[in-house]
Structure 1
Amino acid sequence: MNRLHAYRDAGRPLAAPAEDVSTLLAAALQPGAQLSRVTSALEAILALTERGLAGDAPAYAQYQSLLLTLHLPGEARTEATRRWMASQVYSVEDRFAPALPDYSPVSVALFRERVDAEIAARSRVRHPMSLHLFEGTPPREDVRFFLQHHWIRSYNFYSLLAELAFRFEAIEDASVFYRNLYGEAGAEDPSRSHPALLSHLMTYFDIPLRIDFAGLHPLEKAYLNNRIRCVRHPDVAWGLALLYAVESVSCVNHRRIYELLQRMDVPAGPSEFHRLHGTQDEIDTEEMWALIARFAPDESFQRQFMQSLARHFAINHAYFDMLWQQMPGQSSRQA
């Protein structure tokens, strides 16, 4: 580990050509790879991460791609290595995280008001893509494009709940996520699991269920990576902020999608996922807030929570701007 310590102590990257980093990582993730291979790959990824977060766009794209490789399920014998390497990338991201200037802790009640106000202010409700989809008359190709990316974001939401549950020592705390997981898994009927229900809509729109992760845009990879990074963070404020931000707007967002599907005369079966989520997620939100309230008196928790929200919304905004620009009907709208 001397080379890695040297990298950290020097405070500067040990440069490796960008095209070589993927090769180094592939070698490091071979079962039984020597520690020197793992260290070499990690040094190169951390250097790439620093360059990317400092403004180098190609480096940013590649580091997000490599981090997603570490996050995705792979060879079981390299699971521990992949998680450890990803955790080292998180430490670099933490150093580049924007500070919260002049943050003052507040009471728990005021903290919820502050959090909900921040979520409302950063809502996608007035985003041009949302206005086009939910208040306009979007063509089917635009709706299909939106739903395809919605599948990428939603199909494995259950895994985020499972990851965050492991961060809590007390079963009373973890049970908030286990109850949510029970619903995600379809309760007593696996055919009613939420991924299964959503897959029916994908099939209806002829959207492939298998995701080409390597082909995703760097900003979409960044969005997916940040979700995993937050729920794995040792400070539970990061994961709680991420999931609360998602769950607290879930009902409204799913209801709007359901209403869009109704206007398009999509049958009840493929629409069931969004009909269901348009009503039930409010319970999950309130249970999650009750857990957040137990930690919220701590000033450090409040600061980390708000920092997680800020990062989530910054990535989320850039990601949805990208989707709007890539939506199939955009070229005709700009003409």
Structure 2
Amino acid sequence: MDTAALQQRSDSDLFTTASRLMTNALEPGANYTQVTRALEALLALTRQGLAGDAGAYAHYQSALLQLHIPGDPRTEPTRRWMASEVYRVEDEFAADLPGFTALPVEAFRQQVDAEIAARSRVNHPMSVHLFQGTPPVQDVRFFLEHHWTRSYNFYSLLAELAFRFEAIEDASVFYRNLYGEAGAETPQRSHPAMLAHLMEYFDIPLAIDFPALHPLEKAYLNNRIRCVRHTDVAWGLALLYAVESVSCVNHRRIYELLQRLDVPEQPSEFHRLHGTQDEIDTEEMWALIAKFASEEGFQRTFMRALKRHFEINKAYFDSLWQQMQAQRLSA
């Protein structure tokens, strides 16, 4: 057996062992030794994956997503603790910003907004195909299926980040946003319920098969959860500001696409609504960011979080574009 084959077998054994240890650790009656052995294996995979091993990266992202998605309530404390230890390793590998210089708050916002504009999805080939071309319905359906995967539980990100703030006036920024996400006084008009109407129109299942997702999609979902759970609020604020500040434009483009496809108003309402209202949420969030942005350490971490978000986001959208093209060719 050659060296490459031996290495492949060794990697396979490592992944199998880590998976078995994780399964045992997430049993409700698991003891401390089982949990720590599984965590040691997961952290080894995390380091190996972040060092460039694609197989280890895929396996650690799968394991982390397993820790993130709802499971047996009795294992919730274990899953959160294990995930938090993974975040510590990810912090070690997060790229620093050589030559970084702190700016006055207003200049800092200009820098942040310029960075977000430069990394906009608008110019991605998949976006150009969908929003400036004449995509077949199967491509639109594929896009919307993954749009549901990353959008259906956005409210949970707001809730997680709200808990990071001790002052109620700071947390209230996210609670006001949550009130709208929940449909205000009408739960039937909650944003997930409204978006579900569009999925049903395109016959897209609402249940998500998380294990079947592409590793880069898992990485995208994991990073969002990691950021809003991070003990340093700069990570969560950067992530949500990056998402909210482009929300109006992105949703408006989707709404216009749905209009061109003659999708009725009720299934389109989620995107019509979000094409106008998110600017208010963005300004409220920046007012909160500005309270912390005079500190150099906050600015540095905020920009590191943006850099990581956009790197993961680009890899994720590149993979979706490749999958969309492959699906079309095989049809």
Q: Could you tell me the TM-score, scaled by structure 2's length?
A: 0.95
Partners of 1:54 and 1:159 lie apart in 2 by 30
Partners of 1:104 and 1:332 lie apart in 2 by 48
Percent of residue pairs identical:
76
Give the structure 2 partner of residue 42 of structure 1.
Answer: 39
User: How far 1:31 moved relative to its partner?
Assistant: 1.2
- Matching residue within 109, 112, 116 for 1:112: 109
User: How far 1:16 moved relative to its partner?
Assistant: 7.2
Letter in 2 for 1:113: Q
The 5 A counterparts of 1:56-205 are 56-205=53-202
Spell out, residue by residue over 1:54-111, the C-alpha distance to the aligned partner (whole angstroms, 9 max, x if none). 1111100000000000001111111111000000001111111111011000000000
What RMSD, in angstroms, separates the aligned Cα atoms of the two structures? 1.3
Select between 322-331 and 200-209 the one with higher mean Cα deviation: 322-331
SS at match of 1:17: helix
- Matching residue within 3, 21, 25 for 1:24: 21
Q: Does 1:212 align with 2:206?
A: no
Runs of 5+ consecutive residues of structure 1 not aligned to the other structure: 1-14
Partners of 1:189 and 1:245 lie apart in 2 by 28
Spell out, residue by residue over 1:210-266, the C-alpha distance to the aligned partner (whole angstroms, 9 max, x if none). 000000000000000000000000000000000000000000000000000000000
Task: Flag as ranges the 4+ runs of structure 1 deviating above 6 A.
Answer: none
Partners of 1:219 and 1:187 lie apart in 2 by 34
Q: Could you tell me the TM-score, scaled by structure 1's length?
A: 0.94
Partners of 2:328 and 2:96 lie apart in 1 by 38
Spell out, residue by residue over 1:103-123, the C-alpha distance to the aligned partner (whole angstroms, 9 max, x if none). 000000000000000000000
Partners of 2:326 and 2:86 lie apart in 1 by 37
Partners of 2:329 and 2:64 lie apart in 1 by 35
User: How far 1:17 moved relative to its partner?
Assistant: 1.6
Partners of 2:151 and 2:239 lie apart in 1 by 14
Call closer, same or farther: CA 1:329–1:92 in 2, change over 3 Å: closer
Partners of 1:148 and 1:43 lie apart in 2 by 35
Give the structure 2 partner of residue 11 of structure 1.
Answer: none
User: How far 1:53 moved relative to its partner?
Assistant: 0.5
